[in-house]
Structure 1
Amino acid sequence: MPTSGAVASRGRGRGVDVRIGPGRGRRRRIPLSVMEWTGARYADAPTVELTIWIDSSAEHVWGVVTALEGLPALSDELQAIEWCDGATTPEVGARFVGHSEHTAIGTWSTTSTIVECAAPTALAWAVGDPDDPAAVWRFSLERVDGGTWLTYRAQLGPGRSGLTPAIEKMPDKEQQIVFGRLREFEAGISRTLSGIKERAEAICG
């Protein structure tokens, strides 16, 4: 079985099909080792995702993933999460406020809505307006031979976000701005997946 950390990332539409790890008789789309230049614009709602093998059951991984209040400890940017309207766990329609910090942007808060929650296979939330989100984040879990493939995916836009003013100020730099943010997402996703792997495998250890 795989023993490495995050398998790496890809921009939307990039990747290679290989046979690897548990279930290697099937073809899996494995991301490229380094996200390449995509040239995407904000309105394209570009995405980046990473996948990691976790030597733990999907139920254990799901328990870690759905403890959203634990995510800030695995992130350089996200500082805290507070549930809204009496919610305490993810379910479709539940909302939470995320407090974030970035050296180039400062501090800000956003309200997110759970838009998908199917135990133990998928959890997703939209940042801002669910119908026109600033971003969409999604965990997907796949059981394989007693372990779990965990994929964490981020979609940027298409709704207004903290990136929008920078693009409006420098429209000729839009593609570079978008790519830079995707690379930041990539780094954050990698750290989060590694932390989830450590937590989930500790439950079994």
Structure 2
Amino acid sequence: MNQTLTTDTVERVLHALPEDIYTLVSDITRTPELSPEIIRTRWIRGATGPEVGARFLAVNSLGGIWTWPNFPVVIAAEPGREFAISRTEPFFGTLEWRYTFFSQGEGSTLVRESYTVTRPLTRAAWFMIEKLIGSTDRAGELRAGMTTTLGRLAELVERPVPPPQR
């Protein structure tokens, strides 16, 4: 059990406005379209959209039979600038996931997805990750997942809009 998680960041320039990208990223009901690990989401406890303090249910999977729920809370919701959540799970610590948007002019935006571990995973969590799930490079998997997420986000926001039919 030599794995550790601290922080990581992936960036990509998308040909879309920051506000449009924010709208898609902050709509957690669409997260399963973007993330390779999240299979279901829904707002809970009366929340209906992205605002600081709103909670949602997320169900994650690493493939196979292993799925688990978690209950993130929105910690930043600034349209066109930043969307962030904090996810705490027993034994699995606390991770803050953050999207920040930087206008590049002419309809392009630098999107930065990152995570920061604010409370580390326990030894029991690492045992489960390595022995039960078979993950020996969790940091690498998270980085690959962020890269996939930004790729899927690009596909959604950069789709050409067909002209209206006459």
For normalisation by structure 2, the TM-score amounts to: 0.79
Tell me if the contact between 1:126 and 1:133 (Cα under 8 Å) persists in the aligned partners.
no
Deviation at 1:94, TM superposition (A): 0.3
RMSD: 2.8
1:121 aligns with 2:60: no
1:165 aligns with 2:142: no
For normalisation by structure 1, the TM-score amounts to: 0.65
For residues 101 and 116 of structure 1, do their structure 2 counterparts lie closer, same or farther at Cα, with a shift above 3 Å needed? same
Which structure is higher in strand share?
Answer: 2
Instruction: List per-residue Cα deviations over 1:40-79 (Å, max 9, x = no partner).
Output: 974xx61111101111111111111112211112232111
Residues in 2 aligned to 1:203 and 1:116: alpha-carbon distance in whole angstroms: 30
- 1:27-66 matched pairs, under 5 angstroms: 42=4, 46-66=6-26
For residues 99 and 190 of structure 1, do their structure 2 counterparts lie closer, same or farther at Cα, with a shift above 3 Å needed? same
Q: Which amino acid aligns with 2:145?
A: G
Matched with 1:193 is 150
Deviation at 1:201, TM superposition (A): 1.6
- 1:4-23 matched pairs, under 5 angstroms: none
Residues in 2 aligned to 1:113 and 1:78: alpha-carbon distance in whole angstroms: 15
Residues in 1 aligned to 2:145 and 2:93: alpha-carbon distance in whole angstroms: 19
Q: Which amino acid aligns with 2:110?
A: W
Matched with 1:100 is 60
Residues in 1 aligned to 2:63 and 2:14: alpha-carbon distance in whole angstroms: 32
Q: Any stretches of 5+ residues in structure 1 without a counterpart?
A: 1-39, 170-175
Q: Which amino acid aligns with 2:119?
A: P
Identity among equivalent pairs (%): 22
For residues 117 and 133 of structure 1, do their structure 2 counterparts lie closer, same or farther at Cα, with a shift above 3 Å needed? farther
Greater relative CO (CA pairs within 8 A, separation 6+): 2
Q: Secondary structure at the match of 1:154?
A: strand
For residues 105 and 126 of structure 1, do their structure 2 counterparts lie closer, same or farther at Cα, with a shift above 3 Å needed? farther
